[in-house]
Structure 1
């Protein structure tokens, strides 16, 4: 059973929040839209976790390096704050979980589209199996911009799940939306499909499709670790759950609301927007995380407060900016 990020449920929630926002203040929105992540007493992934990548279709070496650098940033202490690793550490604090150190494993290249350019869910699982069947691993399938996947751009940007039986393993999939639906799966680096048509942000690594994939990859990895077998942390139906990060869709910085990503940092030389530093000088834009507190969503989503609003960089709860800096919108 796979859970979908950017599911129909998530889209409906986004549209609902947009219409509510247009008729009420941000503070009222926070009060009226509680969202709890319920723990269903299942296993969470912890300890050293090997992430195997299956590249399906044509990706350039630069595109692959962006993804690899992101994965290596999840546990790196070398990056300056705010760091990708500090964002990831929230996944360690869920009840039943623990330290989850992601380690890059094998990389499988399938540049000749062995299954064609239109894939079903069963084919994604088949491709994921090429990463091996170890229980302490996550096999991630990444599909190129010219690959059509069932449900992609319609009700999901990525998904994760697990196989059954004695060789059970966790898997995930994320697609490159550059040419198919950048306004849906690569926002805010492209104008959104719904809501206010605000100018898009500049992608921090200069690639709208892959920088959008990073947002979705971070989302499905957090969901995989905190809800690997559909009995961990989630809200809503198991077939379309809201999880640790998917529950915070569209929140990237303080003052965020539907159609506006929030106040994030800007690279002075490139004009690119980001909120997290990674290895090798990389910068990324990562969404909010509900965090382990398990309290209403807009109080719990961990987002970035810029140095202009605080005298030091910090990931903090949305309630901080709603009740102080942006509480009178």
Structure 2
């Protein structure tokens, strides 16, 4: 994070904790949500300066989701699923054997990276302001060294499950996280 803040006069500080959770089992907005309704749900948190995440049930449809966007930033479950267009390299095996969960981890990591590297209060960007890219969205599809369109890069593979990963979490769980743009080298930095 400090690599991004050296470009400004701001000091950097990040404290993360899990705040309150709201569970709406009555579907008070229904089972077909618009973007405005997602914002309405996200605004229900009570902490100061929060990062609110709205997760929907499998039976809830969200305007444009998986047809024109994922996590509002355009990534779904590639590289664990074949893309409709482009190179058709074999899909990777998900580290925790749950493609949906792994896609959610990648999207949350992408969105959180964009939040904590938000230099100017309008999202970290590379290139022209009219086509902004955040720290992770500047490196689409890059998870390991040597990545190119349709190939996620050279990644460790679990010998037991065949799953590809690039980092370890709590209790030795393995995850695949996206590369981040490194402003000091102007390259995409990967964990593997």
Q: Gaps (5+ residues) in structure 1?
A: 1-90, 161-173, 175-183, 306-329
Q: Gaps (5+ residues) in structure 2?
A: none
Residue correspondence of structure 1 range 49-88 to structure 2 within 5 A:
none
Instruction: Quote the Cα distance in structure 2 between the aligned partners of 1:188 and 1:111.
Output: 32
Partner of 1:302: 189
Secondary structure of the residue that 1:197 maps to in structure 2? coil
Instruction: Quote the Cα distance in structure 1 between the aligned partners of 2:165 and 2:149.
Output: 18
Secondary structure of the residue that 1:290 maps to in structure 2? strand
Aligned-residue offset at 1:240: 5.9
The alignment's TM-score, normalised by the length of structure 2, stands at 0.86
Q: 1:106 aligns with which of 14, 20, 24?
A: 20
Aligned-residue offset at 1:127: 0.7
| Conserved 8 A contact 1:222-1:244 | yes
2:155 matches 1:264 = yes
Secondary structure of the residue that 1:301 maps to in structure 2? strand
Aligned-residue offset at 1:237: 6.6
Residue correspondence of structure 1 range 99-178 to structure 2 within 5 A:
99-135=13-49, 137-159=50-72
RMSD: 2.4
Q: 1:235 aligns with which of 121, 126, 137?
A: 126
Judged with a 3 Å threshold, the aligned counterparts in structure 2 of structure 1 residues 139 and 294 are, in CA distance, closer, same or farther, namely farther
| Conserved 8 A contact 2:136-2:179 | yes
Aligned-residue offset at 1:106: 1.6
Residue correspondence of structure 1 range 150-229 to structure 2 within 5 A:
150-159=63-72, 185-227=76-118
Instruction: Quote the Cα distance in structure 2 between the aligned partners of 1:119 and 1:191.
Output: 27
Judged with a 3 Å threshold, the aligned counterparts in structure 2 of structure 1 residues 234 and 294 are, in CA distance, closer, same or farther, namely farther
Judged with a 3 Å threshold, the aligned counterparts in structure 2 of structure 1 residues 145 and 239 are, in CA distance, closer, same or farther, namely farther
Instruction: Quote the Cα distance in structure 1 between the aligned partners of 2:188 and 2:88.
Output: 24
Structure with the larger RCO, 1 or 2 (CA within 8 Å, 6+ apart): 1
Judged with a 3 Å threshold, the aligned counterparts in structure 2 of structure 1 residues 238 and 271 are, in CA distance, closer, same or farther, namely same
Number of aligned residues: 188
CA offset digits 1:64-99 (Å, max 9, x no partner): xxxxxxxxxxxxxxxxxxxxxxxxxxx343123524
Judged with a 3 Å threshold, the aligned counterparts in structure 2 of structure 1 residues 240 and 213 are, in CA distance, closer, same or farther, namely farther
Q: 2:140 aligns with which of 245, 249, 260?
A: 249
Partner of 2:178: 287
2:166 matches 1:275 = yes
| Conserved 8 A contact 1:252-1:262 | yes
Secondary structure of the residue that 1:223 maps to in structure 2? helix
- Comparing both structures, which one devotes a greater share of its residues to helix? 1
Partner of 1:50: none
Instruction: Quote the Cα distance in structure 1 between the aligned partners of 2:131 and 2:37.
Output: 20
CA offset digits 1:247-280 (Å, max 9, x no partner): 1110000111100111111112211111010112
| Conserved 8 A contact 1:230-1:238 | no
Aligned-residue offset at 1:153: 2.1
Instruction: Quote the Cα distance in structure 2 between the aligned partners of 1:228 and 1:153.
Output: 29
